[in-house]
Structure 1
Amino acid sequence: MTRHFLWLAVLLASPLLAAEPLSLNEARRLAENHAPQIAASRAQEAAAREMAVAAGQLPDPVLKLGVNNVPVAGEMAWSLVQEGMTMRQVGLMQEFTRGDKRQARADKASREGDLARISQRQILADTRRDATLAWLDVAYQESMRSLLEQQVAELRLQQQAAEAAFRASRGEQADVFANRLGIERAQDQLAQMQRDIAMARSRLARWIGDAAERPLDAPPPIAALDWQPQNLSEDAGEHPTLATQQGMVAVAEADARVARENRKPDIAVELMYGFRGPSYANMVSLNVSMPLPWDRANRQDRELGAKLAQLDEARARKDDMQRAYLSELRGNLAVLQNSRERLQRYDEVLIPLSRQQTEAALTAYRAGSGSLPRVLEARRMAVDAQMERQRIALEAARTWAQLNFLNPQEDQSSSALGAQP
């Protein structure tokens, strides 16, 4: 019997567990755990590390088997032992790639592995940022929807009062229609907000899957940035976006070194042993070969020139990216500071004033010296002020997310949260 009660309790509690609010930190962890791009980048890094080891080795030796000088006519035709010049040969050839060239190729593969490692940090940063942005969009838009729902509820109560006043000949029919028009406008805004929330949840589902359908926890307080803005210029090179550009420069430098080493030919040594007929002595041959760069100016030098030009391109792109990136960061810092100042103004001045205006208009209407349209206008302005405050808070939270997730480490836990804007 006890077991049945336990099963019943689990069944009754399961909907509640399924509806547990989704916090920002949990959404971020889900996004990190379900990011196939990170796994792909790790595989890319592993491949580059393996290639770095392989590139540093000598080429495999080449086994050679052959038959030389076989007669095709006469009494000894196709005989392998009667003709003194006929030999069955077995040989081994080894190309001795110079150590500097092998090291250059290994360094290039190693730099590609470093670049893949940096890409993991970039993907991790993008994943955390985009999942956070999607979660914030849903959370703040749902808070704005709550404001609209409160406005609709108040307008419905006001509608009942207006209709009662009109039936008692204490109000005008125009007030009834004005209030009803306000309800319909608020309902239209609410429908538009529902559309925006659905779209925001679909963006969140891209990162966390079905968990995006869960109700969200309240927006958490937004902490200070994980890095110090005063050290922006010094720390910028550590951010994955710029570190990726520096990694590309390193790969281009290694590629140019490989091209420079390719200008110098390698030597191949071949040892052959020839088996002759019983009446003849066996023979040994030793051959040394190397390519002749007779047109180096149009081949090897051109290849080196192309790699050096690509290196110049990589360096120029890095410098341009650094300027654009620093400019964008400074702009976002200015936006964040401005949003915080505006939020303070709304909290301390604009919202209290809109509430006082609404109360004054409502008091005048109840006393018979004010009109219902003035009350509705005051209510609309108060709700607009609160909605605008939420939009600014969302802008501040989005800017904070853009700035905060710039230089994550793979083992970095979710950022601590502090004071909410």
Structure 2
Amino acid sequence: MRMIILAPLLAAIPGAALAEPLTFDAALQRAAREAPSLQANEAGVDATRSAAIAAGRLPDPTLDLGVQGFPVSGPNAGSFNRDDFTMTTIGLSQQFPNPAKRRAQRERAQADIGIAEAGAAAEAQNVRLETALAWVDLYYAKRRLAQLQRLDASLSELQATVSARLASGSARPSAALEPDQLRGAVNDRRSDLAAEVTKAQARLARFTGDLQADVSGDPPMLEVDRAQLAARLGGLPRLQALDAETRAADAETELARADKRPDWRVSTSYGRRDPAFGDLVSVGVSIDLPLFARRRQDPKIAARASEAERARLMRAAGERELAAALNGDLADHAMHHQRLMNARNTLVPLAKHRAELDMASYAAGKLDLGSALLSSLALAEAEVDALAREADVARDTIRINFTYGPITDGGTRP
């Protein structure tokens, strides 16, 4: 009975509110299905492919209807059958653009498809990258927040020790305030991390559609292969888009050149007159005459050729820019990795050893509580900073592989 009563309420709860935490791969796969921008780009690609079907086709024929030789003055004015020149006509005409123009139109349509597909691939790459970074940011923000919560728990234990010392008279009264002061500083840091968690959840929800986005599992273990990534730069969506724009500019140049070749039109008509005079049939061909190319077609050809050269130079500049960006990202990754190793091997162990020594000195009555607590706070900050450095390395690895590596599936493999 309770389930029957609660069923309508459960049905009214959005599916995202009941969603389970997402692993890294699951988040990527869900973003690939749910991101509206990807669906919008796919619709754009479909539209471009559909429009390309008509490229290079013959124009529709034209139906001509008319009246010729209708008298408007003289003795036969206003009569269809008293004048032997009056006739009603019906005809068809068909335009035939020159083959070079139609071929260039088809090439331009294929280039437009390439531009649309490259744009969709670039957006898929961006969605995949931003989803992965949001997942990693949420994962490490929650870990850093948990680290501070463990410090808060240890402060509660220390508060009991201070209370016992106050009762025995071995501690000064102001010492009772020092754990609370440290807890206040920890609360400020926790508020910052809680905000980071909320922001990361919002970014993850943007791409996955899960309003209660959460993470489960561990981040992927990815390697950075400099040589392999550098060799694959030419296949990245950004450069593929520039390649397609170059092909489009070349097609526009061919279209301009095709204007120097004449188009032609075939027409036929049937003229009906009074039966006493007989009907007429007409057939004709009209041909364009591009006689003034120096002032009409040639300037357009030069302009389109300059645009094509510009597109090729932009493509070369784009490849250099990507190569420079890859080297810069690899340098940042190496720096972040060194900082992480320094934190793990030096900073955290030293902070831990100092905190232990200071707490032992406090227990022996050789150090005041404030100094011992500051050492504990320094240890917590060192551990949180180490997690932040680990997050930087993970972000670098994901950014490099997902930006400069090919997209093969919705999972962790770049």
How does the TM-score come out when normalised to structure 1? Answer: 0.89
The 2-side partners of 1:21 and 1:62 are apart by 63
1:256 aligns with 2:253: yes
Paired amino acid for 1:36: P
The 1-side partners of 2:61 and 2:278 are apart by 27
Paired amino acid for 2:352: R
Cα RMSD (Å): 2.7
The 1-side partners of 2:348 and 2:404 are apart by 37
Query: CA offset at residue 4 of structure 1?
Result: 8.1
Q: 1:110 to 1:168 in 2, by over 3 A?
A: same
Query: CA offset at residue 407 of structure 1?
Result: 6.0
The 2-side partners of 1:111 and 1:321 are apart by 18
Aligned to 1:220: 219
Match of 1:278 among 275, 279, 283: 275
Paired amino acid for 1:359: E
Give percent identity, aligned residues only.
27
Counterpart of 2:285 in 1: which secondary structure? strand
The 2-side partners of 1:272 and 1:27 are apart by 67
The 1-side partners of 2:220 and 2:275 are apart by 95
The 2-side partners of 1:233 and 1:27 are apart by 28
Paired amino acid for 1:340: H
Counterpart of 1:157 in 2: which secondary structure? helix
1:268 aligns with 2:269: no
Aligned to 1:293: 290
Query: CA offset at residue 222 of structure 1?
Result: 2.6
Aligned residues: 407
Paired amino acid for 1:140: Y
The 1-side partners of 2:108 and 2:214 are apart by 49
Q: Structure 1 stretch 300-309 or stretch 115-124: which is displaced more?
A: 300-309
The 1-side partners of 2:141 and 2:251 are apart by 50
Paired amino acid for 2:312: R
Q: 1:305 to 1:173 in 2, by over 3 A?
A: farther
Mapping of 1:13-412 within 5 angstroms? 18=18, 20-209=20-209, 211-225=210-224, 228-406=225-403, 412=409
The 2-side partners of 1:257 and 1:91 are apart by 34
Deviations 1:187-233 (A, max 9, x none): 11112222222222222221122x241442143243224xx421344
CA contact (8 A) 2:91 2:270 kept: yes
> Which blocks of at least 5 consecutive residues in structure 2 are unaligned?
none
Q: 1:416 to 1:268 in 2, by over 3 A?
A: closer
Deviations 1:80-118 (A, max 9, x none): 232111121111111111122111101110111122122
CA contact (8 A) 1:124 1:408 kept: no
The 2-side partners of 1:189 and 1:38 are apart by 37
Q: Structure 1 stretch 97-106 or stretch 304-313: which is displaced more?
A: 304-313
Counterpart of 2:277 in 1: which secondary structure? coil
Query: CA offset at residue 186 of structure 1?
Result: 0.6
How does the TM-score come out when normalised to structure 2? Answer: 0.90
Paired amino acid for 2:261: K
CA contact (8 A) 1:52 1:107 kept: no
Paired amino acid for 1:108: R
Counterpart of 2:63 in 1: which secondary structure? strand
Paired amino acid for 1:146: A
Paired amino acid for 2:409: Q
Q: 1:216 to 1:89 in 2, by over 3 A?
A: same
Paired amino acid for 1:156: S
